Structure 1
Amino acid sequence: MMAAATSANDSLWQQMRDEAQRAIAADPVFGKSLADAVLVHDDFAAVLADLIGRRLGGSAAERARFTTFALDAFRDSPDMIETAGRDLQAIAIHDPAIAELLPPLLHFKGYVALQAWRVSNWLWHRGHVDAALLFQNESSNLLQVSIHPAAGIGSSVYLDHATGIVIGANVIIGDGTTILQNVSIGRNSELPARSPRIGRGVYIGAGATVLGDISIGDFAKVGAGTVVTSDVPAGCTAVGNPARLTNCPEPVPAA
């Protein structure tokens, strides 16, 4: 399994380098920025750490600090780079406007915000709470994406447009989920306070709110502007405020 992951990462890295070389050949002036972002680095981990540092760090010292944290995380947990590659490929799969890897890697703030969260999560679980919260704070301030370090997020996740996304502590999000802009996922005001659990392949539309001790089943959809405070079975679509269920694979029993 590790050998297969390494091979996939090597292939992805080579694809990025090939795209950067083509960009330079097509436009030597603009292509120089791609060379600086990709070709000067030895591997995908170094590119990603530098990208996080540049997007979160205002000064040279801050950039270096965020880059170092990210590199430490990636070197300690190589599976994070495998996951980052899956996240990047998910964008190319789900976004028909994307034909290559470099545009979402270098220009999609949702992608870098998600990878910055993965570093913050690594820090959180190693007891570096202040550093983890610093990542969250700067991502919120600069990228408008606030994901608590104690959340849990799978792979192949796509934060589309990625403005105004808030994901609270202990929220669980499964593989292959797509989340659009202005989405809030977190606890409600009831006690004991518990967070939503979101399954695999879920789609959450713009402006949706998902709150409380609830489950969103695999491959369910939450429509734009929907407010969800109760379970959504697998494969169903939730729409409206309050949410109502439609398009379920099987009839949903009356409440």
Structure 2
Amino acid sequence: MEKELPSQKRVKLCLKPPVDLDRLWNQLRDQAKLVAGDEPQLARLIDDVVLSKQTFAGALAARLARKVAREDMPREQMEPMLLEVFGEQPQIVLQAGCDLLAITERDAACHTPFEPLLYYKGFIAVTIYRVAHYFWTHNRRSLALYLQSLCSEVLNVDIHPAARIGCGIMLDHGNSVVIGETAIVEDNVSILHEVTLGGTGKEVGDRHPIVRSGVMIGAGAKLLGRVEIGECGKIGAGSVVIHDVPAHTTVAGVPAKVVSRAEDSPALCMDQCFDDQCYEDQ
């Protein structure tokens, strides 16, 4: 018997990310001025991406275009295209702001939102996906697939534009992350490098994982097929998940098995411990 798929009502993707864009933009500009003053070699880049722009959307378009533009679509063509998309779909800009704050809060190596905007390819990759998803859902699939291929080639992150991804997403490092066509990733999820949300063969239809809110997926984990990772689940590094994972549960191994409960919000805590003793000792 085929597994019953969850109704659309159960898929929780953010509609109004909790981010004050004006406050975030002012913070980014203040940080940009400090870095430009401290590092003259970066001043031209920082001026181009942040200080010369009037809005966060403008800065976002400039950063993405600088990063992935190529000869077949130069920056002079890509940047206006991105600005047009952001104007028609401001939700993408809000989601990007939410992602920046999520990275800053969860990554111990990240001290300000300015850092992922300029330096973190995981953030760039997710934002490029959001633009590609917009094109995919507006019957411009060739352009969506082109952006996907650019992201894969330049950033080593391959997210199909048809996938459905919420906000507050952190792709930590981002290297070799693959997210398939029918995957669903809800809000406030943390995914480390070399993670695959893949299918199991040539079947069509809904064939990729569903990842609920608050989940953390450890480095190198492979989630295969239409498995569902329940809210605040945790997947141990290097695990292969081929069965559903209950909410608030930690699994690890090949194939993955339940090893302990998970803390309230693994995606926010970013704790790599597997057993209850880890939490009791803290």
TM-score, normalised by the number of residues in structure 2: 0.83
Of residues 20-29 and 32-41 in structure 1, the stretch that sits farther from structure 2 once superposed is 20-29
Match runs of 1:12-27 below 5 Å: 12-27=24-39
Is 1:111 paired with 2:86? no
Q: What corresponds to 1:137 in structure 2?
A: 149
1:83-135 per-residue CA deviation (whole Å, 9 max, x = no partner) reads 10000000100011211111111010010010000000000000000000000
Alpha-carbon distance, 1:58 to partner: 2.1
* Partner Cα separation in structure 2 for residue 165 and residue 150 of structure 1: 16
2:20 to 8, 13, 37: 8
Is 1:82 paired with 2:94? yes
Runs of 5+ unmatched residues, structure 2: 1-15, 263-282
1:172 to 184, 188, 192: 184
Is residue 139–residue 145 contact of structure 1 (8 Å, CA) maintained in 2? Answer: yes
2:228 to 215, 230, 244: 215
1:154-212 per-residue CA deviation (whole Å, 9 max, x = no partner) reads 00000001110110001000111111111110221274552211000111111110011
Q: Percent identity?
A: 36
Alpha-carbon distance, 1:57 to partner: 1.0
* Partner Cα separation in structure 2 for residue 215 and residue 174 of structure 1: 11
1:69-90 per-residue CA deviation (whole Å, 9 max, x = no partner) reads 3212110011111110000000
Q: What corresponds to 1:197 in structure 2?
A: 210
Of residues 63-72 and 133-142 in structure 1, the stretch that sits farther from structure 2 once superposed is 63-72
Alpha-carbon distance, 1:27 to partner: 3.2
Q: What corresponds to 2:58 in structure 1?
A: 46
* Partner Cα separation in structure 2 for residue 6 and residue 205 of structure 1: 26
Is 1:184 paired with 2:196? yes
Alpha-carbon distance, 1:5 to partner: 7.2
Q: What corresponds to 1:73 in structure 2?
A: 85
Q: What corresponds to 1:124 in structure 2?
A: 136
Runs of 4+ deviating beyond 3 Å: 4-7, 190-193
1:200-248 per-residue CA deviation (whole Å, 9 max, x = no partner) reads 0111111110011210011111111100011000111110001101213
Is residue 191–residue 216 contact of structure 2 (8 Å, CA) maintained in 1? Answer: yes
* Partner Cα separation in structure 2 for residue 115 and residue 207 of structure 1: 22
Is residue 69–residue 119 contact of structure 1 (8 Å, CA) maintained in 2? Answer: no
* Partner Cα separation in structure 1 for residue 179 and residue 127 of structure 2: 14
Q: What corresponds to 1:243 in structure 2?
A: 256
Alpha-carbon distance, 1:7 to partner: 8.0
In structure 2, the CA distance between the partners of 1:147 and 1:43, relative to structure 1 (3 Å rule), is same
Is residue 223–residue 240 contact of structure 2 (8 Å, CA) maintained in 1? Answer: yes
* Partner Cα separation in structure 1 for residue 163 and residue 75 of structure 2: 24
Question: Greater RCO between the two (CA within 8 Å, min separation 6)?
Answer: 2
* Partner Cα separation in structure 2 for residue 171 and residue 48 of structure 1: 25
Of residues 148-157 and 43-52 in structure 1, the stretch that sits farther from structure 2 once superposed is 43-52
* Partner Cα separation in structure 1 for residue 41 and residue 254 of structure 2: 50
In the alignment, residue 76 of structure 2 is paired with which amino acid?
A
Of residues 43-52 and 63-72 in structure 1, the stretch that sits farther from structure 2 once superposed is 63-72
Q: What corresponds to 2:271 in structure 1?
A: none
Is residue 17–residue 98 contact of structure 2 (8 Å, CA) maintained in 1? Answer: no
Please tell me the root mean square deviation across aligned C-alpha atoms, in Å: 1.9
